[in-house]
Amino acid sequence: MHPRRRSRPTGPIAAWLAVTLALACDASSAWAGEARLAVAANFTEAAKEIADLFEQTTGHRAVFSFGSTGLLYTQITQQAPFEAFLAADRERPRKAVDEGFAVADSLFTYATGKLVLFSKDTARVTGPNALKEAGFAKIAIANPLTAPYGAAAVEAMKALGVYDVLQPKIVQGTNIAQTYQFVETGNAEVGFVALSQVVRHEEGSRWLVPEDLYSPIAQDAVLLKQGEDSEAALAFMAFLRGPEAHAVKEKYGYGAGE
């Protein structure tokens, strides 16, 4: 005897199953949303990892635009379609509230950043003496006018009394990501970067700059007016304050914030 084959539904039953499946897919898509977020460049890798956890947990997607805090803020004032702003400072999110671009009671500190002097050369950076001896041609920093990590680098150099000597050797990245690339590619022998950019690997040499040499890099987040009615944006901001996101931040060398 031949084994009995299962027959496929036909006629009205098949049509009913097809409609049910389509409705289920539509319902799933309706529940899932997309949060459009402006994010400081230093937070790139941590943000991507948080986004993966966020999607697994909520079904919503986070879509990022990374850049320097100052440039992102300029885009926000020009009506760029962002629903939330994760800055590298406290100033711009508060300014966004004051100028009517953001929701006041949504403001919070999501992370605190740390500054590192980094070189690809394993023997070049042993501490502040690397700056005082100035045995290099180029030192990279982020643009201090638009990037808080760049402003912190200038503060640290001034506190150490080396800024005037090093100023002719400074090359500026538009943001901290480009600054790191200058050092990574050898276009600058040393550079001030974010701890988050080097904490996951041990190559090169580095010096964790004491936090009393620069103003705290408290990084604030705020919901923008364009995101007030976005379920996905609201969910992301809540997730950013939760334990899963905190664990990722700490892994990348950040203080977890509030």
Q: For 98-147, how does the pLDDT look when each residue is reduced to its tens digit (9 = 90+)?
A: 999 999 999 999 999 999 999 999 999 999 999 999 999 999 999 999 89
CA distance 87 to 59: 25
Shared domain for 106 and 232, answered yes or no, is yes
Angle ∠(202,251,54) on CA atoms, nearest 5:
135
Say whether pTM exceeds 0.85: no
Shared domain for 152 and 104, answered yes or no, is no
**Residue 232 resides in a domain:** yes
Residue 26 has pLDDT above 90, yes or no: no
Strand residue runs (E) in 43-143: 61-67, 84-86, 108-113, 115-119, 139-142
Nearby residues of 157 by Cβ (< 8 Å), 6 or more positions away: 131, 163, 166
pLDDT of residue 31: 55
Residue 176: name the closest of 6, 18, 76, 41 by CA: 41
pLDDT of residue 140: 98
Residue 203: CATH number of its domain: 3.40.190.10
Residue 194: domain span: 114-213
Shared domain for 107 and 175, answered yes or no, is no
CA distance 88 to 70: 9
Residue at 191: amino acid letter: G
SS3 43: helix
Task: Decide if 134 contacts 217 (C-beta within 8 A).
Answer: no
**Residue 131 resides in a domain:** yes
